[in-house]
């Protein structure tokens, strides 16, 4: 390309050097970006490396099927904690998903109302509350009155942690649904609620499901809120009004112990946790892909 | 906010060529009348020679108009303008052809006994020429009133043609030697009448251009 | 007259966007609304099935009658109105459902559960929209997989399925390629045998091609309304002339 200005005072070489300088700057930026990506990924890689190295070896059938052995005895497993974690996150979903979705629908349908803004602000604040505070809240609300740790309290605490994520993802994804779809439904004689539940919400569903699964994966790794709520349990229990074991609390307990066998099992538990979270993410991806087949070409 | 349109430039160009063509047609008519009245064969030859250029202009305008339709898809006034041009140019070309025919007859007449006076023919020729000139003026100015005046005058020209024919018939009856030149003069009268018809057709299109009304073939042009 | 409009004004809040519209739409003909962007033609067409109700602080004043009944009268059943006055939008808006479910949508929300009836109506609607041949083997594929032109015809089929009398089309071909546009235009010509069609278009040639009557809107006013031939060959108003010849816009 020609320079738009008339060439003067040997501008040619200057342009050349400018081009060279530009290339150098570009190169530096590229390298810098690469280094930053590596720095960001390095901890993840290290965590995965250690967890797999220490944890995978400690896994055996007993780990999945047995309950913890008393102090001093070797062996035992975290079977009850695995089931407990699944029950706890199930309870959390049961609590957070319906409320979160409906609140999200409200926020997207009534944008700009004073109440909507208040709800949105509350959700954002709730999202920022430390999980331990949530745990204490559930402790005060559920555990203290009945004077017993329970899975319900734990699931509630986890659900409360999930709630703002579900609310906001639902809202955001509903807002991404093209307004044309709503118009299309209304023009066919649908009422507003009909349009939301038969067209708009289904259109946003794949994304909302991802949000829910990501939120589940996040709370599955929570320990702090469970310490005050579902606490721990050495025995098999599926009674949600009783204390319940969970992988995170079990790992927390074992990792703090002086016993080598417990520490080994803590690694295995950590490994399993990572795997559960990974599995949730993969399930989220697969589910979304299936659902999206209707949404995209 | 008004938009400067390419279309306007095209219209101006077409108009300019059409007017040049009109001027040449008028000139051909004028010269054919001079050749007829003065027996000027050189002028007659010149009219015949010039006809090619008029034909070329007709083709040039046609092409330009067709391109314009293809590219611009004219509407409303533009559409009427384009339609008018497409109908006016063949009329002009035909008028030039008729002037050429007049000159051919004039050349043939030079070998035959002269008929004097030519009775109504000079007036007929003058009237026809005025109609063509007024038709072109009406087109240029977009003057529907003038166009209507021209159309009304067509009856006068038809009348003159008829009277000219009757006069020439008397010459033929008087002397059989007059038959051949009188027939040629009858033809010439017919040619001028047709030129006037051409002017009428042009004027009908001018009324359409200005008012969007087709007055062709209707009894009452107003 | 299928649609009868007298002194219709429309406001967005305090802004008046339509000024005293008077217009009669004849039955089983195509009426085109043309005019520069923001002239009010879209607002007007959306007033005919009260789609503007969705917009807060929007309100219409004056009279719009469909079959002699004022659709802005208190107590008007908007849902019933919209089932009689179908609408097709500028951007094709198929639902993220199967082709079949898209066309059946209006029927289902209208309470039709009979599978046979659904299937018959879906087929008939797709045929009327000239889409049946292209999709009959993949009725249960996602509608989103169709091409832009097919999606728009699907939306037309979807609107036809609830058996409306009037079809409003808000720039139905403006996002389509020329061939898809031609198909939609052909379709409009066929549909006018059975439906009263009102179409908003930016494309003046399209208005000239498909419509019987043309209304020219400008700055919220109806400038001229006449036979399409008159509007495009010999309009009476200077503003119309300037617009259809591209001197204005």
DSSP 8-state symbol, C5: E
* Chain A contact set for C106 (CB, 8 A): 188-189
DSSP 8-state symbol, A141: I
What is the arithmetic mean of pLDDT over B64-82? 90
Q: Looking at the complex, does the CB of residue C216 fall below 8 Å from at least one CB of chain B?
A: no
CB C142 within 8 A of CB A203: no
Is C162 within 8 Å of A293 when comparing Cβ atoms?
A: no
Helix (H) or strand (E) holding C167: strand C166-170
d(C-alpha B213, C-alpha C175), whole Å: 37
d(C-alpha B55, C-alpha B58), whole Å: 5
Provide the 3-class DSSP secondary structure of residue A200. helix
Respond yes or no on whether the N-terminal peptide bond of residue B86 is cis (omega within 30° of 0).
Answer: no
d(C-alpha A80, C-alpha C160), whole Å: 59
d(C-alpha C72, C-alpha C60), whole Å: 8
d(C-alpha C243, C-alpha A292), whole Å: 45
Nearest by CB: B3 against C205, C241, C249: C249
Is C106 within 8 Å of A189 when comparing Cβ atoms?
A: yes
pLDDT at A214 (0 to 100): 86
pLDDT digits (tens, 9 = 90+) for B1-50: 566 678 888 889 999 999 999 999 999 999 999 999 988 999 999 999 99
CB A133 within 8 A of CB A119: no
Residue B136 pLDDT exceeds 90: yes
**For C87, which residue in chain A has the nearest alpha carbon?**
A187
CA proximity to A229, closest of A248, A211, A212 = A248
CB C208 within 8 A of CB C183: no
Question: Is the pTM above the cut of 0.80?
Answer: no
Chain C contact probe: residue of B3, B6, B8, B76 with most C CBs at under 10 A:
B76
Q: Is 0.85 exceeded by the ipTM? A: yes
* Mean pLDDT, chain A cut into blocks of 10 residues (297 residues total): 49 69 93 95 90 84 82 79 91 94 91 87 91 90 88 92 93 90 92 92 88 88 87 82 87 87 88 88 81 63
**For B4, which residue in chain C has the nearest alpha carbon?**
C247
Q: How many residues does chain C have?
A: 249
Helix (H) or strand (E) holding B123: helix B121-141
d(C-alpha A137, C-alpha A271), whole Å: 30
DSSP 8-state symbol, A242: S
pLDDT digits (tens, 9 = 90+) for B87-108: 999 999 999 999 999 999 999 9
Describe the crossing of helices A79-109 and A201-220 by its angle, rounded to 10 degrees: 140
Please, is C111 exposed, middle or buried when counting C-beta atoms within 10 Å of its C-beta (0-12, 13-18, 19+)?
exposed
pLDDT at C122 (0 to 100): 95
pLDDT at A230 (0 to 100): 85
Nearest by CB: A187 against C82, C96, C110: C82
Least-confidence region, from A148-152, C133-137, C162-166, C232-236: A148-152
pLDDT at A147 (0 to 100): 87
Dihedral sign for Cα atoms in the order A66, A71, A75, A78: positive
Region of B218 (left: φ > 0; alpha: ψ -120 to 50; beta: rest) is beta
pLDDT at A14 (0 to 100): 62
* Chain C contact set for B79 (CB, 8 A): 232-233
Rounded to the nearest integer, the mean pLDDT of chain C is 92
Residues 6+ away with beta carbon under 8 Å from C150: C131, C134, C135, C180
**Any idea which residue has 């010269």 for tokens?**
B31
| Confidence band, pLDDT 50/70/90 cuts, at residue B66 | very high
pLDDT at B22 (0 to 100): 94
pLDDT digits (tens, 9 = 90+) for C121-142: 999 999 989 899 999 999 999 8
CB atoms within 10 A of CB C34: 27
CB A219 within 8 A of CB A85: no
Residues of B at the C interface (Cβ-Cβ below 8 Å)?
Answer: 1-3, 5, 7, 73-80, 211-213
pLDDT at B147 (0 to 100): 95
CA C99, chain centre distance (Å): 21
d(C-alpha B123, C-alpha C208), whole Å: 49
Share of chain B above pLDDT 90, in %: 70
Nearest by CB: A294 against C89, C105, C144: C144
Nearest by CB: C246 against B3, B211, B212: B3
pLDDT digits (tens, 9 = 90+) for B162-171: 999 999 999 8
pLDDT digits (tens, 9 = 90+) for C52-103: 888 888 999 999 999 999 999 998 999 999 999 999 999 889 999 999 999 9
CB A267 within 8 A of CB A79: no
pLDDT at A12 (0 to 100): 53
pLDDT at A2 (0 to 100): 46
Helix (H) or strand (E) holding A9: none
Least-confidence region, from A9-23, B58-72, C96-110, C223-237: A9-23
A partners (3+ CB pairs within 8 A) are C
CB atoms within 10 A of CB B123: 16
């Amino acid at each position: 390309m020609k320079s738009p200005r008339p060439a003067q005072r040997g501008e040619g070489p200057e342009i050349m050097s400018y081009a060279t300088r530009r290339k150098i700057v570009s190169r530096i930026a590229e390298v810098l970006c690469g280094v930053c990506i590596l720095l960001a990924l390095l901890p993840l890689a290290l965590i995965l490396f250690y967890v797999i190295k220490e944890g995978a070896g400690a896994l055996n059938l007993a780990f999945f099927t047995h309950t913890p052995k008393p102090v001093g005895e070797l062996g035992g497993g975290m079977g009850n904690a695995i089931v407990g974690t699944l029950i706890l996150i199930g309870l959390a979903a049961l609590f957070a998903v319906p409320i979160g979705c409906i609140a999200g629908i409200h926020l997207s349908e009534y944008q700009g109302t004073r109440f909507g803004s208040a709800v949105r602000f509350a959700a954002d604040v709730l999202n920022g509350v430390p999980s331990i505070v949530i745990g204490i809240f559930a402790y005060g609300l559920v555990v203290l009155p009945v004077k017993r740790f329970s899975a319900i309290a734990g699931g509630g605490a986890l659900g409360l942690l999930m709630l703002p994520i579900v609310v906001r993802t639902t809202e955001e994804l509903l807002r991404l649904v093209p307004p044309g779809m709503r118009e299309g439904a209304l023009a066919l004689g649908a009422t507003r609620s009909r349009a939301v539940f038969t067209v708009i919400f289904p259109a946003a569903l794949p994304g909302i499901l991802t949000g829910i699964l990501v939120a589940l994966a996040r709370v599955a790794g929570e320990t702090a809120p469970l310490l005050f709520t579902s606490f721990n349990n050495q025995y098999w229990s599926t009674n949600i009004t009783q204390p319940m074991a969970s992988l995170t609390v079990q790992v927390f307990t074992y990792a703090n112990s002086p016993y080598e066998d417990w520490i080994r099992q803590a690694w295995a538990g950590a490994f399993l946790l990572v795997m559960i979270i990974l599995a949730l993410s993969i399930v989220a991806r697969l589910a979304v892909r299936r659902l999206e087949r209707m949404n995209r070409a | 906010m008004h938009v400067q349109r390419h279309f306007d430039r095209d219209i101006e160009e077409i108009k300019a060529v059409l007017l040049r063509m009109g001027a040449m047609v008028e000139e051909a008519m004028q010269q054919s009348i001079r050749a007829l009245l003065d027996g000027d064969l050189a002028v007659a030859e010149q009219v015949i020679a010039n006809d090619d250029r008029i034909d070329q202009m007709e083709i040039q305008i046609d092409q330009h108009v067709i391109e314009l339709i293809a590219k611009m898809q004219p509407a409303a006034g533009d559409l009427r303008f384009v339609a008018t041009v497409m109908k006016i140019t063949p009329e002009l070309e035909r008028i030039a052809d008729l002037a050429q025919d007049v000159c051919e007859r004039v050349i043939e007449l030079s070998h035959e006994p002269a008929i004097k006076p030519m009775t109504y023919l000079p007036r007929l020729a003058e009237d026809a020429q005025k109609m063509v000139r007024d038709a072109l003026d009406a087109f240029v100015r977009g003057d529907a009133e003038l166009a209507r005046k021209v159309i009304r005058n067509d009856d006068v020209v038809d009348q003159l043609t008829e009277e000219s024919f009757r006069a020439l018939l008397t010459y033929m009856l008087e002397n059989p030697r007059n038959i051949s030149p009188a027939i040629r003069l009858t033809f010439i009268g017919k040619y001028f009448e047709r030129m006037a018809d051409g002017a009428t057709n042009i004027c009908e299109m001018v009324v359409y251009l200005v008012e969007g009304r087709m007055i062709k073939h209707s009894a009452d042009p107003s | 007259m299928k649609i009868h409009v007298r002194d219709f004004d429309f406001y967005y809040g305090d802004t008046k966007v339509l000024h005293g519209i008077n217009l009669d739409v004849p039955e089983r003909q195509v009426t085109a609304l043309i005019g520069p962007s923001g002239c009010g033609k879209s607002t007007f067409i959306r007033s005919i099935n009260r789609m503007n109700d969705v917009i807060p602080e929007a309100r219409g004043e004056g009279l719009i009658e469909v079959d002699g009944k004022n659709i802005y009268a208190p107590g008007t059943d908007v849902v019933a109105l919209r089932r009689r006055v179908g609408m097709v939008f500028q951007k094709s808006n198929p639902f993220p459902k199967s082709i079949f479910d898209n066309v059946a949508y209006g029927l289902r929300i209208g309470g039709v559960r009979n599978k046979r009836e659904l299937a018959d109506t879906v087929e008939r609607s797709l045929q009327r929209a000239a889409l049946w041949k292209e999709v009959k083997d993949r009725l249960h594929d996602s509608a989103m997989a169709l091409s832009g032109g097919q999606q728009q015809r699907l939306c037309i089929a979807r609107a036809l399925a609830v058996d409306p009398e009037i079809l409003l089309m808000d720039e139905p071909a403006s996002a389509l390629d020329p061939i898809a546009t031609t198909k939609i235009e052909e379709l409009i010509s066929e549909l006018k045998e059975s439906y009263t069609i009102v179409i908003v278009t930016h494309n003046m040639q399209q208005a000239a091609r498909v419509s019987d009557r043309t209304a020219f809107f400008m700055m919220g006013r109806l400038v001229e309304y006449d036979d399409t031939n008159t509007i495009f060959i010999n309009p009476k108003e200077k503003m119309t002339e300037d617009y259809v010849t591209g001197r204005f816009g």
